[in-house]
Structure 1
Amino acid sequence: MLVLLPPSETKSDGGDGDPLDLGALSFAELTPVRLRLTEALRTLADDVPASLRALDLSERQVEEVERNAELFTSPTRPALERYTGVLYDALGAEKFTRAQRARAGRRLAVASALFGVVRAEDPIPAYRLSGASVLPGIGGLRAVWRADLEKTLSTVDELVVDLRSGAYAALADVPHAVTVRVVTEGEGGRRKSVSHFNKAAKGRLAAALALAPREPGTVRTVVSAARAAGLRLEPVGKRELELVIDS
C-alpha cells in the first residue's frame, strides 16, 4: 500500500543529513524534472523580489527565499520529519517506535511541488514552493509534472490511497487510486465536506494505515484498519471513501 500525503507550506529547520542528493531520492525516474526545478528555484532565489512575487510571499517571509538559496548546501532530514503542521501533528510520527517508523517508511509518501513525490524517509532540505506556484521561465507546475509524475504513479503496483489536497492532486491524476473525502453528517444522514478539520482527520487516518499490523491491500482492509483505530471510514463508490467526523 502507498498512502499519498499532501505536503505542507511549513517545514522544520535544520537536520543532520548530508546536503540534497537528487539521486538518493525514491522514484529515480523523476530526477530530470527535479533537477530542472531545483536549479530554477535556487537561481530564482538570487532575485529576492522576484522570488517573493513568484512564491506569493510577503517581505516578512524572506527567510523562505533564503531556504531556497541553500537548497544544495543545507542539511536534510527525512520527509516525514521535514513537513510540519496540522496533518503531520495528527500523524504523530515522532511518537512511532522504531518498528512503527519502518512500517510507515514503507507505506507513506508525500506529494511535492519540487520533488513530485518522495517516500517518508527520503532526505530533503527545507524549501518553499507550492503546487500552485508559477516559476519564471518554467510556468505552472502541472504542465511540468503531469506526464512524468502520472507515468510514475501509474506504475505503482499496490493499492494507492490518495489523501492529496487539490493543488497537488492537480499535478498528476492517479486513476487507480482510492480517494478519501472528509465529511460531517447532519440530520437525516446528509453529509457535507469539511475544510477546517480536514487535515487533522487525514493525519489520523494516515497514522492508522501506517501502523496497521497487517498492511491493508484492499479497500475492505483499509476500512477495517481505520475502524480498528476508532475512525469511521465508509466506502461510497468502488474507489471512493468518506471519513466521517464529528461536526
Structure 2
Amino acid sequence: MLVLLPPSETKAAGGSGPALDLDSLSYPDLNPTRRKLLEALSTLADDVPASLDALGLSERQVDEVARNAELWDAPTAPALERYTGVLYDALDVGSLDPGQRERADRRLAVASALFGMVRGGDRIPGYRLSGGSSLPGVGSLRSTWRPVLEPVLAEGDDLLLDMRSGAYAALARTPHAIGVRVLSEDPSGKRKVISHHNKAHKGGLARALARSPAEPESAADVIEVAEQAGLHVEREGEHGLCVVVRT
C-alpha cells in the first residue's frame, strides 16, 4: 500500500545527510521536473523581494528565502523527519522501532510542491514552496506537476490512500485512490467536519498503518488496522474512508 500524506509549510532545519542527490530519490521519472523547479527556486532566491512576493511571504520570513538559496548544498534529512507540524507530531516517527520505521519509509509518501512526491526515507533539504504557488519562468505548480505526477500515481495496483489537502490534491488527480476525511461526532450522533485538527487524526492513522506488520491491501484492511489502534474508521462509498472522532 501507499499512503500519500500532505506536506507542511514548516520544516525542520539542518540534517545529517549529504547534499541533495536527485538520483537517490524515489520516482526517478519526476527528476526532470524536480530539477527545473529546484533551479527556478534557487535562482529566484537571488532576488529577495521577488522571492517574498512569489512565495507569499512577509519580510519577517526572509530566512525562508535564504534556505531556498542553498537547496543544492544544504544537508538533507529523511522526508518524515524534514516535515513538521500537527500531522507529523502525531505520526511521531522517532518513537517507531526499526521494523516499524522501515514500514513507514516504504508505505508513507509525502506530496511536495518541489519534489512532486517523495517516500518517507528519501533525503531532502529544507525549502519553502507551497502547492498553490507560481514561479517566474515556470508558471503554476498545478500545470507543471499534473502531466508528470498523475502517470506516476496511476502506476501499479497497490492500495493508494490519499490524505492530501486541497492545494496538493490539485497537483495530481487520483481517481483510483481512497480519500480520507475526519469528522467529529457528538453524543447525539451529529457529525461535522474537523478542519485544522484533522491533521492529528490523519497522522494517527498513518502511524497505525506504519506499525502494522500486516500489509493492508484493501479499505477493509485499513479499517481493521485502525480499529486495532483504537481509531474508529468507516467506509464512505467506493472511494472514501472517514475517521470518526467521538466527542
TM bucket, shorter chain? over 0.9
Deviation, structure 1 residue 140 = 1.0
SS of equivalent to 2:137: coil
* Per-residue deviation, 1:19: 0.5
The Cα shift of 1:238 comes to 1.1
Separation (CA, whole Å) in 1 of partners of 2:114 and 2:239: 28
Q: Does structure 1 residue 114 correspond to structure 2 residue 85?
A: no
Distance, in Å, in 2 between the alignment partners of 1:59 and 1:101 is 38
Paired position in structure 2 for 1:13: 13
Q: Is the 8 A contact 2:212 2:225 kept in 1?
A: yes
* Corresponding residue number in structure 2 for 1:35: 35
Query: Match for residue 201 of structure 1?
Result: 201
Instruction: Give the paired residue count.
Output: 247
Distance in 2 between residues matched to 1:76 and 1:156, nearest whole Å: 29
State the alpha-carbon separation in 2 of the partners of residues 181 and 100 from structure 1.
Answer: 24
Q: Report the aligned-residue RMSD.
A: 1.0
**Does 1:225 find its partner at 2:225?**
yes
Structure 2 unpaired stretches of 5+ = none
Q: Deviations over 1:116-159 (max 9, x none)?
A: 00000001000000001111111110000001100000003200
How far does the alpha carbon of each residue in 1:18-62 deviate from its partner, in whole angstroms, 9 at most, with x for none? Answer: 101111110000001001000000000000000000111111111
Per-residue deviation at 1:211? Answer: 1.0
CA contact (8 A) 2:187 2:246 kept: no
- 2:79–2:123: 8 Å Cα contact kept in structure 1? yes
1:103 maps to: 103
Q: Is the 8 A contact 2:154 2:174 kept in 1?
A: yes
Three-state SS of the structure 1 residue aligned to 2:7 is coil
Corresponding residue of 2:54: 54
| Aligned-residue offset at 1:215 | 1.2
Q: Output the CA distance in 1 between the equivalents of 2:132 and 2:213.
A: 37
**Whole-angstrom distance in 1 between the partners of 2:61 and 2:246:** 35
Partner residue in 1 for 2:184: 184
Please state whether the residue corresponding to 2:111 is helix, strand or coil.
Answer: strand
Measure, in 1, the Cα distance between the counterparts of 2:213 and 2:203: 18
Question: Match for 1:204: what amino acid?
Answer: G
Cα deviation 1:58-79 (Å, max 9, x = unaligned): 1111110011000000000100
Most deviating of 187-196 and 233-242: 187-196
TM score, norm. by length of structure 2: 0.98
Shift of 1:166: 0.6
Q: What is the CA–CA distance in structure 2 between the aligned matches of 1:68 and 1:118, rounded to whole Å? A: 18
Query: Aligned to 1:172, what secondary structure does the other structure show?
Result: coil
2:4 aligned counterpart, secondary structure: strand
User: Which residue does 1:146 correspond to in 2?
Assistant: 146
The one-letter amino acid of 2:91's match is L
Measure, in 1, the Cα distance between the counterparts of 2:80 and 2:196.
Answer: 22
In structure 2, distance between residues paired with 1:156 and 1:41: 31
Tell me the CA shift for residue 188 of structure 1: 5.1
Distance in 1 (alpha carbons) for counterparts of 2:29 and 2:61: 33
- The equivalent of 2:245 in structure 1 is 245
Mapped to 2, the partners of 1:191 and 1:170 lie a distance apart of 26
In 1, the alpha carbon distance for the partners of 2:191 and 2:246 equals 11
For each residue in 1:73-123, what CA deviation from the matched residue of structure 2 results, as whole angstroms up to 9, or x when unmatched?
000010010001110000010101111111111100000000000000001
Note the residue ranges of structure 1 that are not aligned, 5 or more in a row.
none
Query: 2:164 maps to which residue?
Result: 164
Distance 1:197 1:81 in 2: 20
**1:174 is matched by which residue type in structure 2?**
T
**Counterpart of 1:215 in structure 2: which amino acid?**
E
